[in-house]
A and B are shown apart, each in its own frame.
Chain A
């Protein structure tokens, strides 16, 4: 790890000012991704701006038909939240299968979504539930947010403040854990909003995406049988030493069917 200056702003405005001010500053939330990166010397920011003391970024509430989760809320809090469990149990259960207990008590939803690891779980929920990413500057729609591996619509210095999840009629998340990392090889969030069905897939490709063939079939008939014949093409999906793109393509179907059955 290289040296950096550490800042602990107490308000969002102070954080925004700091990140705008510093040559090569970086926000730190739970540090679960950023710290290993620093230790491996893959990143060497001049300044770290810690969001932990920014109270307005924490907390979970229901606002009308939406669940609003502050960017600095850790995964364990989402998993345990009665508000989330009663409105979108699939989201609580997704948060509960991220990493291990230590990671869930440090890692945050804002950090996860800002980082946009292709194998992270939350992106599946953001896309599948059609969430809105709220930043200090604007509101970004789920479909416009994820761009590619570790690449999002966020601009330099833009801070996620909260994520707004519309409450679906039914939803479920199914994850196939990576044999080594425990991240999602494939994670599928299926959500039904009236006639509208969304299928958000994470893990399989460079960034989370909607599986439109599955959505079309499920909009007709919301049952696991309806997507039995729907195949995902392996083209463009990720491969690693444990799981090939063909296997990932196959798992999208399996996880989608299981999610529908559970929803």
Chain B
């Protein structure tokens, strides 16, 4: 519809402001008299703290205070919990540790906060933090999940007695084992899903200011919504009423899932500000973001698939280790089980399915949600299995997928989730056609003549969008001039809500997008029930709430219009900004003006045009897609180059194709980052060895593919806009498409898998290892 409505490629309204440097990020905010905070962090991966002597730091120039856990304990500040509930098959619940805001008696990973120092300037605070005297007794450390299972591995939590807090399984493995044993073909893969550092452009930061007169604390911090953090910090840690804390996150430089959490630094800064009755500011440097932002992924998966003689899956077993880090972050153990488990076994029908997950403690920073949060891991695993299944059965890779796709909807997964819709084969066919899959062998031959190894990979994937929270609160206010303000519970930190929500308002109210203003990220003004943005939920949740609010606006405005036109409300039609009844008409603006005027509205009506909706979703939605990647490898150096990349995505109804494509490109870049260069590596002693961008590889323009993107739209049946999420698709599709292409390029060298990141050296070794015996 319309020039600016649903489906139109409206350019991003927010870009000029953000690109001109007119954004307002946490570090842009300063308060008179603020002190600067710096954290003293553990240099040890595992050690007992014998003593802390803050005296030299307290005596340093400019220092106002030094706080340790003793101060927090004296004030009764509780430790941080993990709210995930899991149990094993016998019903025994998962063992959960609490995380102290500042280390108490023991440090368990490098970068753990031990003390917070407040000083007049940031330089003085950092200087003083270095003067803190901490005596340690180092303990043996363990960094990777497999080593942490060893009988003689250092144990992080003595009360638990091992490093595995639960062995979760979906069911007993016996029926699956039986089906597996009877299968005509069995294929196995072992996959290390590499640990990633989220790396948003804006580092973590916080500014907390206590207003004694109002008895209220304001906390500016980059979050993905702020309401949960408000509730947490106010009620749990500061013992305030929720509204005695105002959380502001106006502009946020990237979230990717790592911004929803109540980080211990936020609690410490907020508590310190209240304690001193003033303002405290902190901004992490890049090194701190490496050490203390929750990391993503870090799974080891062993999986086996059994197929019948026709290449149809009969049984699937997945055994997963997920590295939790030293503490359980808010969502940590959820990643494989509810993150990936919401979709597993992905696009395919698995009649028998066994899923075993062991979360594992190690001396590393916690892992938590990161773009896709468990779904990229699940899809990667399934696509590697499918490629192996093709090899084992002799079927083409697309054919074995086709034979196993879910085709009947709604479809109930073995984990009990219900997928409403999808056209997986059609999406794959579109992708294969666009990528000229059928003529690939000619290109392989031509490349070989140039001395290059060329390969092609196909990856189908499915996502689950909506996140755990089933509601979102949206409010739409139309002023007397007809301009619209959207008070949004959804929170943009790069996604483009300002643009898309303006389009929706245009669609439903006919108001020009330039006259729509988005207010977000301020708990004093955003709706009470606001949740925020994560898990690709804003189109469905924010969009759904916005649609319902607009419908209420139209319903009320129709009564006003009928009153103005002296018509029966039932006779009034609203279309593209105009109310009509018979031959009379009146514009939306005229009606808005009347609505605020008590003299011009029907009797008994409250003036105003201001409606909200606590939108409750019916179900999550299931975006899906199929990506095809074509690579060429320089065999002398092992360097891969992406020569073609096709992305067909089913994001349901597309609200703005420019923005959806942007999400896909960004997701593909992050997916290729994981597949090609990114790796958060701890050495065996627990030191993070990739703690700067000199060692931690970020995807660059030359890694990135030119993405040819298209849509395979199947409207979602369970939400009013028919939308599905788009944010995490690229991060799901790119790793298996790329690795599949590499393996295909190297198939004549006997290569069946390359772990991520597939760096040039790994590829070169794969070629040469395979060459050696020949």
Interface positions of B from 690 to 716, Cβ below 8 Å from A = 690, 693-698, 700
A180 touches B696 (CB 8 A): yes
B677 touches A3 (CB 8 A): no
The 8 Å CB contact of B693, one of A176, A181, A242, is: A181
- Nearest chain A residue, comparing its CB with the CB of B697: A180
Judge if B73 is at the interface, Cβ distance under 8 Å.
no
The 8 Å CB contact of B681, one of A39, A179, A241, A244, is: A241
Q: Which one of A39, A183, A250 has the greatest number of beta carbons of chain B within 10 Å?
A: A250
Question: Provided the pairs A242-B759, A254-B637 are in contact, do residues A41 and B126 lie with their beta carbons within 8 angstroms?
Answer: yes
The 8 Å CB contact of B697, one of A2, A40, A242, A247, is: A242
- Nearest chain A residue, comparing its CB with the CB of B285: A39
Judge if B127 is at the interface, Cβ distance under 8 Å.
yes
Docked CA distance A151–B759 (Å)? 30
- Nearest chain A residue, comparing its CB with the CB of B764: A247
Which size class do A's interface residues fall under? 20 to 34
Q: Which chain B residues border A251 with CB–CB below 8 Å?
A: 637
Judge if B679 is at the interface, Cβ distance under 8 Å.
yes
Interface positions of B from 751 to 767, Cβ below 8 Å from A = 757, 759-761, 764-765
Q: Which chain A residues border B693 with CB–CB below 8 Å?
A: 180-181
The 8 Å CB contact of A254, one of B636, B690, B695, B696, is: B636
Q: Which one of B287, B636, B693 has the greatest number of beta carbons of chain A within 10 Å?
A: B636
Judge if A10 is at the interface, Cβ distance under 8 Å.
no
- Chain B 661-701 near chain A by CB (<8 Å), digits 1 or 0: 00000000000000011010100000001100111111010
Interface positions of A from 204 to 254, Cβ below 8 Å from B = 240-244, 247, 250-251, 254
Q: Which chain A residues border B150 with CB–CB below 8 Å?
A: none
Docked CA distance A41–B123 (Å)? 10
Nearest chain A CB to B679's CB is how many angstroms away? 7
Please count how many residues in chain B sit with their CB below 8 Å of the partner chain's CB atoms.
27
Interface positions of A from 32 to 90, Cβ below 8 Å from B = 39-41
Nearest chain A CB to B271's CB is how many angstroms away? 27
The 8 Å CB contact of A179, one of B636, B689, B697, B765, is: B697
Nearest chain A CB to B399's CB is how many angstroms away? 35
Docked CA distance A251–B764 (Å)? 11
B637 touches A176 (CB 8 A): yes
Docked CA distance A3–B123 (Å)? 9
Q: Which chain B residues border A41 with CB–CB below 8 Å?
A: 126, 130
A247 touches B636 (CB 8 A): no
Judge if A1 is at the interface, Cβ distance under 8 Å.
yes
Q: Which chain A residues border B697 with CB–CB below 8 Å?
A: 179-180, 242
Nearest chain B CB to A129's CB is how many angstroms away? 24
Question: Provided the pairs A3-B123, A241-B681 are in contact, do residues A181 and B695 lie with their beta carbons within 8 angstroms?
Answer: yes
- Chain B 457-481 near chain A by CB (<8 Å), digits 1 or 0: 0000000000000000000000000
Nearest chain A CB to B410's CB is how many angstroms away? 44
Q: Which chain B residues border A179 with CB–CB below 8 Å?
A: 676-677, 697, 757, 759-760
A40 touches B760 (CB 8 A): no
The 8 Å CB contact of A180, one of B123, B285, B695, is: B695
Q: Which chain B residues border A1 with CB–CB below 8 Å?
A: 123
Nearest chain A CB to B683's CB is how many angstroms away? 9
Docked CA distance A254–B764 (Å)? 12
Q: Which chain A residues border B679 with CB–CB below 8 Å?
A: 241
Docked CA distance A39–B625 (Å)? 44
Q: Which chain A residues border B694 with CB–CB below 8 Å?
A: 180-181, 183
Docked CA distance A182–B676 (Å)? 14
Q: Which chain B residues border A183 with CB–CB below 8 Å?
A: 694
Q: Which chain A residues border B757 with CB–CB below 8 Å?
A: 179
Nearest chain A CB to B434's CB is how many angstroms away? 30
Question: Provided the pairs A3-B123, A179-B677 are in contact, do residues A244 and B285 lie with their beta carbons within 8 angstroms?
Answer: no
Nearest chain A CB to B591's CB is how many angstroms away? 53
B761 touches A244 (CB 8 A): yes
Nearest chain B CB to A128's CB is how many angstroms away? 20
A2 touches B123 (CB 8 A): yes
- Nearest chain B residue, comparing its CB with the CB of A254: B636
- Nearest chain B residue, comparing its CB with the CB of A253: B636
Nearest chain A CB to B125's CB is how many angstroms away? 13
Q: Which chain B residues border A240 with CB–CB below 8 Å?
A: 695
- Nearest chain B residue, comparing its CB with the CB of A182: B700
- Chain A 125-160 near chain B by CB (<8 Å), digits 1 or 0: 000000000000000000000000000000000000
Interface positions of B from 105 to 135, Cβ below 8 Å from A = 123, 126-127, 130
Question: Provided the pairs A179-B677, A179-B697, A180-B697 are in contact, do residues A241 and B764 lie with their beta carbons within 8 angstroms?
Answer: no
- Nearest chain A residue, comparing its CB with the CB of B126: A41
Q: Which chain A residues border B700 with CB–CB below 8 Å?
A: 182
Q: Which chain A residues border B637 with CB–CB below 8 Å?
A: 176, 251, 254
- Nearest chain A residue, comparing its CB with the CB of B694: A181
Question: Provided the pairs A2-B123, A181-B693 are in contact, do residues A40 and B287 lie with their beta carbons within 8 angstroms?
Answer: yes
Nearest chain A CB to B328's CB is how many angstroms away? 28
B677 touches A180 (CB 8 A): yes
Nearest chain B CB to A214's CB is how many angstroms away? 16
Nearest chain B CB to A21's CB is how many angstroms away? 25
Nearest chain B CB to A235's CB is how many angstroms away? 18
Docked CA distance A179–B697 (Å)? 6
Interface positions of B from 625 to 652, Cβ below 8 Å from A = 636-637
- Chain A 111-126 near chain B by CB (<8 Å), digits 1 or 0: 0000000000000000
Docked CA distance A240–B760 (Å)? 13
- Chain A 1-43 near chain B by CB (<8 Å), digits 1 or 0: 1110000000000000000000000000000000000011100
Docked CA distance A247–B761 (Å)? 7
Q: Which chain B residues border A182 with CB–CB below 8 Å?
A: 700
The 8 Å CB contact of A243, one of B123, B127, B681, B761, is: B761
Question: Provided the pairs A179-B697, A179-B760, A251-B637 are in contact, do residues A241 and B127 lie with their beta carbons within 8 angstroms?
Answer: no
Q: Which chain A residues border B123 with CB–CB below 8 Å?
A: 1-3
- Nearest chain A residue, comparing its CB with the CB of B681: A241
Docked CA distance A3–B62 (Å)? 14
Q: Which chain A residues border B698 with CB–CB below 8 Å?
A: 180
Docked CA distance A247–B764 (Å)? 8
Q: Which one of A3, A41, A179, A182 has the greatest number of beta carbons of chain B within 10 Å?
A: A179
Interface positions of B from 126 to 147, Cβ below 8 Å from A = 126-127, 130
Q: Which one of B287, B681, B695 has the greatest number of beta carbons of chain A within 10 Å?
A: B695
Interface positions of B from 716 to 757, Cβ below 8 Å from A = 757
Q: Which chain B residues border A244 with CB–CB below 8 Å?
A: 761
Docked CA distance A1–B130 (Å)? 13
Nearest chain A CB to B298's CB is how many angstroms away? 16
Nearest chain A CB to B36's CB is how many angstroms away? 14
Q: Which chain A residues border B676 with CB–CB below 8 Å?
A: 179
- Nearest chain B residue, comparing its CB with the CB of A1: B123
B761 touches A242 (CB 8 A): yes
Q: Which chain B residues border A176 with CB–CB below 8 Å?
A: 637, 760
Docked CA distance A241–B700 (Å)? 19
Q: Which chain A residues border B681 with CB–CB below 8 Å?
A: 241
Q: Which one of A1, A176, A242 has the greatest number of beta carbons of chain B within 10 Å?
A: A242
Q: Which one of A2, A241, A243 has the greatest number of beta carbons of chain B within 10 Å?
A: A241
Nearest chain B CB to A231's CB is how many angstroms away? 14
Q: Which chain A residues border B126 with CB–CB below 8 Å?
A: 41
- Nearest chain B residue, comparing its CB with the CB of A250: B764
Docked CA distance A241–B765 (Å)? 15
B residues at A contact (CB < 8 Å): 123, 126-127, 130, 285, 287, 636-637, 676-677, 679, 681, 689-690, 693-698, 700, 757, 759-761, 764-765
A residues at B contact (CB < 8 Å): 1-3, 39-41, 176, 179-183, 240-244, 247, 250-251, 254
- In order of increasing CB-CB distance, the 9 nearest A-B pairs are A180-B697, A181-B694, A247-B761, A254-B636, A179-B697, A179-B677, A179-B759, A180-B695, A243-B761
Given contacts A40-B287, A243-B759, A244-B761, 9 further A-B contacts (CB under 8 A): A179-B677, A179-B759, A180-B677, A180-B693, A180-B694, A180-B696, A241-B690, A242-B695, A243-B761
Q: List 14 A-B contacts (CB under 8 A).
A: A1-B123, A2-B123, A39-B285, A179-B676, A179-B677, A179-B697, A180-B677, A180-B690, A180-B694, A180-B697, A182-B700, A183-B694, A242-B759, A251-B637
